[in-house]
Chain A
Amino acid sequence: MPDRITNVIPAADVVAVSHAYLTRDGSEVLALEDVSLRIGRGEFVAIVGPSGCGKSTLLRLLAGLEHPVRGKVQVSGLAPEAAGELVGIVFQKPTLLDWLNVERNILLPVRVRRGRPGTADLAAARALMALTGIDGFAQRQPFELSGGMQQRAAICRALIQDPDLLLMDEPFGALDALTREEMCFELLRIWSDRRKTILFVTHSIPEAVLLADRVVVMSPRPGRIAAVIAVDLPRPRSLATLAMPGFQAHTQTIRELIYGDKLRATVDRPTL
């Protein structure tokens, strides 16, 4: 919601970005075309769209994992490569290192950027583990944790240096449906505690509506922003939110934006 944006410098700013990949035979695949998106501080933005719509590419650009061919990407007014500790990332897989225990995994960004973690870092790690409900697992090895627990540890790792912006690339996509729903509510709780700016890529429409302030709907080939839907459902959101008429209305709107035309066509076609 625009009135939440109080700071002058947005947490993330994507200006007229186009991005393309070269295929092996030298031809070009357009991943993003003229995408602009401004995310205010403390805002929770979800990106939904079918596969191939460039939603992960957009996130990778903000993470500095790729450079846009055209346009400008900024995180808190800085180039993504310079943003360092200001950005935390949660990938689809937990990507915990098998040879480190949970606590050392969570402290990895500290170790990489500043060397040996100090007592303040250890305290931060402990607080995050308590917040995400994995306290007591600090000394365990990743393989001893369930998928949901591993992803909680990955969230702790992303938050350990108190970033401005949390990028999440289908973070619950590899989890089973029940754990996934549970993790959504967990994330809402964590967000309400830490008030990070979150950019959340997903292909689940209900997930996007449940979590986000704004849902960015993307269309594929080339990736474009088809619509930006402001979700005006009250916070804090809970199980009850899922039953609200507003929730249904929003998911329906987005669903139609994504494949409404296609579905209608299928229904209208005379059956053999």
Chain B
Amino acid sequence: MATNSAPRLIAPPSRAARAWFASRGVIVPAVTLALLLVAWEASVRVFVIPVFLLPAPSRIWAEMGSMLPHLPRNILATLVTVLLGFAASVIVAVPLAIAISSSAGLARATYPLLLMTQSTPIVAIAPILVVAFGTGQVSRTLVAFLIAFFPLLVSTVTGLLATPREIRDLSRSLRMSFFQELWMIRLPAAMPFIFAGLKVAVTLSVIGAVVSEFVTANAGLGYLITQATAFFNVPMAFGAVVLLALMGIGLFGSVVLIERVFFPWSARAGRPAVD
């Protein structure tokens, strides 16, 4: 570096400036959130809004505090449904996507059917599923799975078909077998697409889990919401919603983290890039 001999044109940023640049991504949204909470709290108090319409943040916090002993069990119940549904969607969608992307005939045969299941509102199916599969974990998992599965399937198929032509020429010139091509080229190349699908699927699994708990559950955050609203305990319902939001953010973040750590090239691609 020639910076020692030549005089600097631009003064180096101060320590405070560097600290600000490093942390503004956290500070700005945190301040916004804090301001929003303060405004919420203030308007509830100033306009004397009844608690069953809109509870103040402090009230929600207090309610959660009093519920504390019951929270772990309910959070865990929802989390189990979310993760089972999500896992099932991955286990079914990825192999099915491989099959569909490898055979035009199979794609033609299954796509309309899959599209039909997807166009059917899952919320409408949920009670029927309970009749068929009982009121247990199986029905709840199925609902979460059905909601999460399709976007993952579509993005995985898209990714597996998006291998650039030059890369396919490379694999053909090396006379790769089907499984060599799949394992060495098509799956890794599809990773940015698969992770885009996983990020959507994990969020949808949370929605599916809550829907399933509305229909059949004796524990869980969705169950907590139905119970709380039945007794006009709106602060508790709000608290459960906040926990669900946090769960969704946490799961989404986990997927992002897994991608960054284990599939850095995919995270670099950011969004699916063809070239």
Contact = CB atoms under 8 A, between A and B. Distances in A.
A182 to B, nearest CB: 23
Contacts of B263: 99
Interface string A126-149: 000000000000000101000000
Contacts of A53: none
A143 B184 contact: no
Contact of A112 (B166, B176, B268): B176
Task: Tell which of A63, A95, A108, A113 has the most Cβ of chain B within 10 Å.
Answer: A95
Interface residues of B, number: 21
Interface in B171-185: 172-176, 180, 184-185
Contact of A89 (B164, B167, B173, B184): B173
Given A108-B184, A112-B180, A91 B166 contact: yes
Contact of B174 (A91, A112, A141): A112
A109 interface: yes
A92 interface: yes
Nearest to B170: A95
B167 A95 contact: yes
B188 interface: yes
A71 interface: no
B172 to A, nearest CB: 6
Task: Tell which of A89, A112, A113 has the most Cβ of chain B within 10 Å.
Answer: A112
B273 to A, nearest CB: 10
Contacts of B268: 98, 143
Interface of B: 164, 166-167, 169-170, 172-176, 180, 184-185, 188-189, 191, 263, 265-266, 268-269
Interface of A: 63-65, 81, 84, 87, 89, 91-93, 95, 97-99, 108-109, 111-113, 141, 143
17 contacts: A64-B173, A64-B175, A87-B173, A91-B169, A93-B166, A95-B167, A98-B189, A98-B265, A98-B269, A99-B263, A99-B266, A108-B184, A112-B174, A112-B184, A113-B174, A143-B265, A143-B268
